[in-house]
Amino acid sequence: MPCRRDLAATFLVAFLFGLTFMLAVQPTQGQPTKNGIGLSFFVYRGPEKQCVHLHHWLLCLPLAGVLALAVRISGGEATCGLVFIIGILVGVAASDVVYTDIARLLEPCPCTQATASQKGIR
């Protein structure tokens, strides 16, 4: 069901939910992830191996943009659920502002050469 007049409130609640949730569960800068799952993948440049770190904002903002475009194309007939999802994505993206390396994409890989060779990565 459309909720035209409450879209701003729905977005704000979802934004605050996404931001608060991520600030509560994400590790502080320099700490490993709590669950052992990271959003990095390996890029090898010559003898130096580096990881490309996919920050939350790199994943969430494009998704939120596509959903917002879908809302715009539909003439603003968005459901509260879609606006709520957009708000959560923007809130999760905003949680990256607590890190000083928000724009740094390349970093030393956390895995050792032994770990990489065990996985068959060369």
Predicted confidence (pLDDT) per residue in 2-54, tens digit: 566 688 888 999 999 999 998 888 766 666 555 444 555 556 565 667 777 77
Report the first-to-last Cα separation within the chain, whole angstroms: 52
Domain limits of the chain? 4-23+40-118
- pLDDT (0 to 100) of residue 12: 93
79 strand-pairing partners:
2
CA angle (49, 29, 23) in 5-degree steps: 130
CB 80 within 8 A of CB 3: yes
Q: Hunting for tokens 């032994």 — which residue is that?
A: 114
- pLDDT (0 to 100) of residue 112: 43
Per-residue model confidence as pLDDT tens digits over 48-77: 677 777 778 888 899 999 998 888 887 767
Which residues lie below 8 Å from residue 46, measured CB to CB, with a gap of 6+? none
Please give the model's pTM, rounded to 2 decimal places: 0.70
